[in-house]
Structures are given as structure tokens and as C-alpha cells.
A and B are shown apart, each in its own frame.
Chain A
Amino acid sequence: GDSVTQMEGPVTLSEEAFLTINCTYTATGYPSLFWYVQYPGEGLQLLLKATKADDKGSNKGFEATYRKETTSFHLEKGSVQVSDSAVYFCALTSNTGGFKTIFGAGTRLFVKA
């Protein structure tokens, strides 16, 4: 079945450091790919998405490119801030199987001042 694998955390960075959180997927069909962010005690917020190969999603300085050849959707940010500390979930929604969303395990990010 469809699955999402993302790098284990926690990831601890200093402010202004470069961030990469790896995400790979397996899916039948042509899934849409998402990154969600969850701040402590809150629900999920859509961070960015890409719906087809080579699309780049971007928001708030974060970006990720849909790479079909490597089945990856890595999240990057050039300069993280303390306020970026949260849990980041990579996810896919496939047009097969009723548009269910499959989530990765989540990666917790800590950014130190």
C-alpha cells in the first residue's frame, strides 16, 4: 500500500541554520504531496503542497520539490527561526483508495536562539 517515510527526529538547529527534512514515498497512481506543520497543542496546518512531478511548493520560506524519479519531497528552508520549532509531517493523497491521506511519522524540529 501507499506509504510515507520521513527522517526521524528530533532535529536540533541553531537559528539561521539551513534545514532539510527528508521525505520519500511509495504510491500507486499519481499522488499529491503535502507538508503539514503542527505547533504544540494544536492541530495540523497545511504548509505547502505539490500536485504533480517537478512542481515546487513554497510557503513562509519553506519549499519542497516533487521528484518523481526519486519519489521524494524533501522540505528545505534556508534560515530557520525559533518560531519554526514544531513537528513537520510529510503526507500524500492518492487518487486511488478514496483520497485518503497517508502521513509520515513526523519530524520534530527544535530551533535554538
Chain B
Amino acid sequence: GAVVSQHPSWVICKSGTSVKIECRSLDFQATTMFWYRQFPKQSLMLMATSNEGSKATYEQGVEKDKFLINHASLTLSTLTVTSAHPEDSSFYICSARDEGETQYFGPGTRLLVL
């Protein structure tokens, strides 16, 4: 089946630094990737939809200058959390959609900002 990877799986950083998370579709091309945020024991919250070669579409309430998304190729999207603060600590999950409707999810990246 289709595989989506995320890197890193864990990251701990100091407050004020920026963190980049990569999302790759390993065996298929994904014109659309999605970024989600999940708080402990809660559901996934869609942050943004990332389309290859164009600007990401952010959900209401998500700061686009805070969460920079780049989708430079059909197999790679990146999420950069800029000037991270402790409240940005969360589990970030990406997904990639194939030519059909099925989304394949990455294993997630756990971010801890000290």
C-alpha cells in the first residue's frame, strides 16, 4: 500500500527557534497533502491543505506566517513552525491524497517546545 513518511518523528527545541517537518509520499505522487494537528486525547484538526506548486490553503484560525507550508514537489511537503513557543507543542500529522479520494497518513511528528 501507499506509504507516507514524516521526519523527524520527535523534535525538542527551545522557545523562539524554528522547526521544519518533512512529509514524503514514498511510492506515489500526491498533488495534495494535508497538515493536521492533534492535541492529547483529541481528534485531528486540519491546519492547511497543500497543493503542489501553489500556495497552501489555511483553515480559519491558523496563522499562515506561523506555520509555513511548502509543497515543492509531488512527493514532498514541509511544515515549518516559526518562532516556536510552548503552546505549539503538539503532534503534527500529514497526509497525502492519491489520485482517488483515499488519504494516507504519516506516522506523525511529536514537537516539544521548551
Contacts and interface: CB of A to CB of B under 8 A. Distances in A.
Interface string B22-56: 00000000001010000001111010010000000
Nearest to A45: B105
Contacts of A103: 43-44
A108 B41 CA distance: 9
Nearest to B93: A43
User: Interface on chain B toward A: helix, strand, loop, or mixed SS?
Assistant: strand
Interface in B37-85: 41-44, 46, 49, 57
B97 A49 contact: no
Contact of A101 (B6, B41, B46, B108): B46
Interface residues of A, number: 22
B102 A89 contact: no
Given A89-B43, A89-B44, A104-B43, A99 B97 contact: yes
B104 A42 contact: no
Which range contains the number of B residues in contact with the other chain?
20 to 34
Contact of A99 (B32, B93, B110): B32
Interface in A76-113: 89, 93, 95, 98-101, 103-106, 108
A17 interface: no
A42 B106 CA distance: 9
B94 to A, nearest CB: 9
Contacts of B42: 105-106
Interface of B: 6, 32, 34, 41-44, 46, 49, 57, 93, 95, 97, 101-108, 110
8 smallest CB-CB distances across A and B, nearest first, come from A44-B105, A43-B108, A43-B107, A43-B105, A103-B43, A105-B43, A103-B44, A106-B43
